[in-house]
Structure 1
Amino acid sequence: MTAAAPVTAPEPSPAKPVPRAVGNPVYELPATDKLVALTLDDGPDPTHTPVVLGLLRKYGIRATFFLIGENAAEHPDLVREIAREGHHLANHTWTHPDLRHLSAAQVRDELERTSDVLQTAAGKPLTWFRAPGGDWSPVALKTCSELGMRPMGWSVDPRDWARPGTSLITERVLKAVQPGSIVLNHDGGGDRSQTIAALQTYLPVLIDDGYRFTAPR
Structure 2
Amino acid sequence: MNFFMVLSARKIKQYGLVILTALFAAWFLFVQNMIHAPVFSTSEGPKAVYKGEKNLALTFNIGWGDERALPILKTLKKEKVKSATFFLSGAWAERHPDIVATIVKEGYEIGLLGYAYKDYSDIKDEEIVKDISKAHEVFKKLNVKSIVLLRAPTGHFDKRLLKIGERFGYSVVHWSIDSKDWTNPGVEKIVENVDQADKGDIILLHASDSAKQTNTALPQLLSEIRSKNLKLVTVSEMISNSSARNEEIE
Q: How does 1:1-217 map to 2 (within 5 A)?
A: 22-31=45-54, 35-43=55-63, 45-61=65-81, 62-121=83-142, 123-174=144-195, 176-188=196-208, 190-217=209-236
CA deviation after TM superposition for structure 1 residue 191, in Å: 3.3
In structure 1, the gaps of 5 or more residues are 1-20
1:44–1:75 Cα contact (<8 Å) kept: no
Q: Which is higher, the Rg of structure 1 or of structure 2?
A: 2
State the partner residue of 1:8. none
TM-score, with normalisation over the residues of structure 2? Answer: 0.72
Name the SS of the counterpart of 1:200 in structure 2: helix
Distance in 1 (alpha carbons) for counterparts of 2:53 and 2:135: 28
CA shift in 2, pair 1:208/1:58, >3 Å: farther
State the partner residue of 1:3. none
Distance in 2 (alpha carbons) for counterparts of 1:85 and 1:44: 21
Identity %: 27
Name the SS of the counterpart of 1:196 in structure 2: helix
Distance in 2 (alpha carbons) for counterparts of 1:44 and 1:56: 20
CA deviation after TM superposition for structure 1 residue 93, in Å: 1.0
Deviations 1:82-101 (A, max 9, x none): 11111111111111111111
CA shift in 2, pair 1:47/1:115, >3 Å: same
CA deviation after TM superposition for structure 1 residue 113, in Å: 1.2
Name the SS of the counterpart of 1:179 in structure 2: coil
In structure 2, the gaps of 5 or more residues are 1-43, 237-250
One-letter identity of the residue aligned with 1:28: K
The structure with more helix, counted as a fraction of residues: 2
1:107–1:139 Cα contact (<8 Å) kept: no
1:166–1:198 Cα contact (<8 Å) kept: yes
TM-score, with normalisation over the residues of structure 1? Answer: 0.82
Deviates more, 1:115-124 or 1:75-84: 115-124
Distance in 1 (alpha carbons) for counterparts of 2:133 and 2:232: 29
How many correspondences in the alignment?
192
State the partner residue of 2:248. none
CA shift in 2, pair 1:194/1:124, >3 Å: same
One-letter identity of the residue aligned with 1:29: G
State the partner residue of 1:6. none
